[in-house]
Amino acid sequence: MVGLTSAAGVIALLDEHDDDLKVYALQKLNGIVDQFWAEISDAVSKIEIMYEDTEFKDRALAALVASKVYYHLGEFDDSLNFALGAGNLFDLSLKSEYVDTIVSKCIDKYIAARVQEQQDPQNAEAMDSRLKAVVEKMFDRCYQDGEYKQAVGIALEAHRLDVVEHSIKAGGPAVILPYVYDLTMTVVQDQAYRNTLLHLLVDQFRKLEEPDYVAINQCLVHLGDHQASAELLQNLVSSGTQADLLMAYQLAFDLENNATQKYLTKVSTALPADAADTPLPKFAKVKSILSGKETIKLQLEFLCRNNHTDMLILKDSKNVLDARLSVYHSAVTFANAFMNAGTTSDDFLRQNLEWLSRATNWSKFSATAALGVIHKGQLSRGLSLLAPYLPQDGVTASPYSEGGSLFALGLIHANHGDEVLDYLRGVLKETQIEVLQHGACLGLGTAGMATDNDDIYEELKNVLFSDSAIGGEAAGLGMGMVMLGTASEKALDEMLQYAHETQHEKIIRGLAVGVSLVMYGKEDAADVLIERLSADKDPILRYGGMYTIAMAYAGTGSNKAIRRLLHVAVSDVNDDVRRAAVTALGFIMFRSYKQVPRIVQLLSESYNPHVRYGACLALGISCAGTGSLDAIELLEPMTKDNVDFVRQGAFIALAMVLMQQNEAQSPKAASVRKMYEEVIKKKNEDALAKFGAVLGQGIIDAGTKENRCSGWTSRSGHSNMPAIVGVALFTQFWYWFPASHFLSLAFTPTAIIGVNADLNLPEIEFTSNARPSLFAYIPPTKPPAAVTVEKVATAVLSTTAKAQAKAKKAKSAESDAMEEDEKPEAKSEEAKEEEAKIAAKPKKEAQSEKLGNLARVVPAQLKYISFDKDARYVPVKKDVTGGIVVLLDNKPDEPENLIATTTSAVESTPPASAADTKMDVEEEEAPLPEPFTYPFGDE
């Protein structure tokens, strides 16, 4: 049978006067429209007239045919309008590209209308009832098919909380609630709407048979509801059950990991005090956890026990580089600080006192500040450790070492500064020396981060108004850190006003970056300020505008922010602004790091070296610790760039990407480490590139390979504020090398640390269901093999040689006769071959391993970790997210075997008795090292 070759005959029927013939024609056209749409499109106006004719008996069919014609023409808006007019003839259950496309357009239009209704109800247009009907049908179809996640996706974007709630109940809270939470935190851009959703989630989590306290706690932190957090902790502590008490401890540890100092202080203040006759001060323990002291003590224990610093790397770099050049001296100082971050190990400094004494001026400042990185977290000993360097009445010392010690004090107490804020304020009030002001301002900002403390802010403002370039720059940064994330209008107005008045570029830059910190996490609320800064004629303030975008939208993946940054990256006339715009992409997209290489690929090939450098940092920041092959492929060519600072950026970024990556995880790791050595040893290599290579060596092995700087999110998924701020300030080393120390704020110990109800460390065992080599430590560098120099043969006379030969022959004959009987029986050739085969045969590697408390567990390893359900100790939290894990003791009546802590000797509180702790001390502690003092002479 011959197929239809033209629709002309059917189209001709549309001109008939009889409605039945027209309907017949429309029915035929509806069946062949996908084949002959081009021919039918000439007559689409006639079909439209039929639809508009109110007396025509089959208007819906005319609308459907017109919709399909416009769909094939690519006019999707017209197609959607006619599809809505088709009513029930537009069948949503049909599986076709036409239906899927029109439904998609319908949902998009519905979402846009709903968002307009929510955001601007007065000017919003009335919703088309037909549009509502189609979307409601889609929801019903999702319910029937059991596709509750699809319904949730549409409902979240359309602000339909009723559908979200119904989907949670119908689809099963255990499955749908985590999905809704994840979408709320990653997809929803509007902060006010996100908070509404979080309130809904808190209610839903509380309605579960077993309330999910961990999820409730996370939601409350995002909402900033400190009162509700305090009530949750109080209810759990007061419930009287051991499980609830342990859960309260776990929530307190999670809060300390996620919340700001200001939030934690408010929660702690809202908690009641323990009764005077209480034998076990439970609320005191919760408050101690919230203060951060317990967390830091446990992390220090982990870092001190697992110190794998490769001293040979530092030694080789130090020997190759000329210490007389401050850039090289500072580079090795930073690398040593990063490698030993938090470990309290100053062995390298002790072994190289002569090299250390060569530091001058700002190199001396950096070297002293490095103590703050090495001893980070030593809250109880911070002042005593730095006592030899801190300013003292009547003692004249180097202002650079004194200023560096004040900065070091802030780094030791970073984000936990209650004990030193008053001391630093006192020093700042009393001194007029610029370098001391500089160190004190940075120390105050770092220790008082996000405290919103007006007194500290005013002290810093006084230094700023003195118009000192050195002190003013640090004051601007310090003001930003103290008011971090507050969006304080007073602070913003004062800082921007002074930035326009002063003539010092250093001060303007400090204020520009400080302003960006004030708007941390504010998203849409920062748009007005971003517009203002981006349009400023001063390039330094436009530079601050780029960092304001980075801080306000950190981790959101906001398309709006990305578009703005990409536009500035290719259009601004100032290189610094363009570099900052590209760097900021890394902050915004760290949650979706796999997309970053694709976005910056063209920028990495830009003619402008500043843009290429920005692309390096964007890749390093977003892909830190992931070992991303796509990022490495882009960075490797830039290590051979013809511009020195681009090579520097590539070296630093590669180190960030390959942190905690061994050869089993990332085959490129070994070659990158080798490349650093070769670059440092090259005599004709530029100083900036060598600086980047040495910094790379320190970053890639940060904290003895126990730390990683990819902790942009905390273990529960919150943005890690100190880490993000630390990296933003670290990028300022472009202008001022000592800013490199701020990177230590981003170092997060990667471990599983189990604690019992007394917050002691019991002996536990859990399984890593992955082969041990996959997450093993990187092997240490081997020292070069000793080269033996062969001796030249001495000339011997022929007569002497003959006499020696005779004597040797006679002696040999005697010894052979004596040893004949003692000679062992020689092995057969077959036996030798068999032994060789056994030695050469590779041993089969185990597919799992047992780990104990205080074990190093990198984030990629967490999915392989499992606890035996029948074990004595099991986590109170269902999901293993690493960090500090509170353990439930299933055999509380049996004596416990506890791990003796090595850091307890340095704590001010006396250790408890053996009867109280039941601690079995298996080995004696090593003696404390002798006090160490930098060999800096007075100036």
Q: Which of 392-396, 505-509, 787-791 has the highest mean pLDDT?
A: 505-509
Average pLDDT of the residues in 174-194: 85
Q: Which residue has the tokens 């996959």?
A: 774
- Asked whether residue 667 carries a pLDDT value surpassing 80, the answer given is yes
Q: What is the dihedral of CA 830, 831, 834, 835, to 10 degrees?
A: -150
Helix axis angle, 559-571 to 539-552, nearest 10°: 160
DSSP letters spanning 149-182:
HHHHHHHHHTT-HHHHHHHHHHH-HHHHHHHHHH
Q: Is 490 left (phi over 0), alpha (psi -120 to 50) or beta?
A: alpha
User: What is the spatial distance between Cα 421 and Cα 479, in angstroms, rounded to a whole number?
Assistant: 14
pLDDT band, very low/low/confident/very high, at 595 (cuts 50, 70, 90): very high
Quickly state the pLDDT bin for 191 (edges 50, 70, 90): confident
Does residue 809 register a pLDDT over 70? no
By the 10 Å C-beta count (0-12 exposed, 13-18 middle, 19+ buried), 906 is classed as middle
Contact 405, 438 (CB under 8 A): no
Is it the case that residue 795 has pLDDT exceeding 70? no
Contacts of 335 (CB under 8 A, 6+ apart): 313, 314, 317, 694, 695, 697, 698
* CA-based radius of gyration for the chain: 35
Residues 487, 484: Cα–Cα separation, whole Å: 8
Residue 57 has pLDDT above 60, yes or no: yes
DSSP label at residue 719: B
317, 319, 321, 327 alpha-carbon torsion, rounded to 10°: 80
Report the range of poorest mean pLDDT among 338-347, 719-728, 802-811. 802-811
Task: Name which of 537, 473, 545, 542 is nearest 502 in CA terms.
Answer: 473
345-384 CB burial, b ≥16 within 10 A, e <16: bbbbbeebeebbebbbebbbbbbbbbbbbbbbbbbbbbbe
Structure tokens at 653: 């970024």
Task: With H, G, I as helix, E, B as strand and everything else as coil, classify residue 863.
Answer: helix
Q: Residue written as tokens 């390039």? A: 539
Average confidence (pLDDT) over 651-672: 89
H-type helices in 658-719, by residue range? 668-681, 687-700
Q: What percent of the chain has pLDDT over 90?
A: 35
Categorize the per-residue pLDDT at 810 as very low, low, confident or very high, splitting at 50, 70 and 90.
low
488 is written with which tokens?
């304080």
- 479, 457 contact by CB (below 8 A): yes
Region 91-110: mean pLDDT is 86
> Cα torsion for 630, 636, 637, 643, to the nearest 10°?
130
List strands edge to edge, sheet with 849-852: 849-852, 765-768, 865-866
Token code pair at residue 6: 């033209």
Pairing of β 849-852 and β 765-768: antiparallel
Contact 371, 385 (CB under 8 A): yes
Residues 620 and 638: their CA atoms lie apart, in Å, by: 13
Give CA–CA dist 295/726, Å, rounded.
Answer: 19
Confidence of residue 293 (pLDDT cuts 50, 70, 90): confident
With a cut of 70, say whether residue 793 has pLDDT above it: no
In the numeric block, which tokens belong to residue 214?
A: 């961990």
C-alpha distances (whole Å) from 543 to each of 27, 572, 589 are 64, 10, 19
Maximum pairwise Cα distance, the chain? 137
In the predicted model, what is the mean pLDDT of residues 294-315?
Answer: 84
pTM: 0.83
The DSSP secondary structure of 743-782, one letter per residue, reads GGGG-EE-EEEEE-TTS--B--EEEE-S-GGGGPPPPPPP
Residue 344: closest CA among 844, 922, 731, 903: 903
Tell me which DSSP letter residue 862 carries. G
Half-sphere exposure at residue 366, Cβ-oriented, CA atoms within 13 angstroms: 28
> Contact, 428 vs 392, CB < 8 A?
no
Question: What is the mean pLDDT of the segment spanning 590-598?
Answer: 91
What gap in Å lies between CA 546 and CA 797, rounded to an integer? 85
DSSP string, 602-658: TGGG-S-HHHHHHHHHHHHHHTTTT--HHHHHHHHHHTT-SSHHHHHHHHHHHHHHT
| Residue 172 CB coordination number (10 Å) | 11
Q: Using pLDDT thresholds of 50, 70 and 90, give the confidence band for residue 483.
A: very high
How far is residue 460's CA from residue 237's CA, in Å, rounded to a whole number?
A: 40
Q: Which position has the higher pLDDT, 709 or 730?
A: 730
CA geometry: angle at 293 spanning 290 and 298, to 5°?
Answer: 115
pLDDT in tens, 123-133: 777 788 888 88
Q: Are 409 and 372 in contact (CB under 8 A)?
A: yes
First to last CA, the chain: 106
Question: What are the two backbone dihedrals, phi and then psi, of residue 748, each rounded to the nearest 5 degrees?
Answer: -120, 120
Give pLDDT tens digits for 61-94: 999 999 999 999 989 889 888 888 888 888 888 8
Distances (CA, A) of 328 to 353, 421, 610, 627, 924: 16, 33, 23, 28, 40
Band (811; pLDDT cuts 50, 70, 90)? low
Residue type for 599, please?
A: I
| Contact call for residues 719 and 851 (beta carbons, < 8 A) | no
Averaged pLDDT, 149-172: 89
What number of CA atoms fall less than 13 Å from residue 578's CA on the CB side? 18
- The answer on pLDDT for 542 being more than 90 is yes
Q: Phi then psi for 160, rounded to 5 degrees? A: -100, 85
Residue 450, phi-psi category: left (phi > 0), alpha (psi -120 to 50), beta (remainder): left
| Per-chain mean pLDDT for the chain | 85
Instruction: Specify the higher pLDDT residue, 817 or 170.
Output: 170
Is the CB of residue 589 less than 8 Å from the CB of residue 600? no
The token duo for 532 is 């203002």
pLDDT at 394: 65
Average pLDDT over residues 708-728: 77
Q: What is the rounded CA–CA span in Å between residue 60 and residue 212?
A: 51
Do residues 721 and 450 touch, judged by C-beta distance below 8 A?
Answer: yes
Q: How many CB atoms lie within 10 A of CB 602?
A: 12
Cβ atoms 569, 600 nearer than 8 A = no
- Phi (first) and psi of residue 521, to 5 degrees: 70, 10
Return the pLDDT at 3. Answer: 62
Contact of 500 with 534, CB cutoff 8 Å? no
pLDDT over 70 for what percent of the chain? 87
110 contacts 135 by C-beta, under 8 angstroms: yes
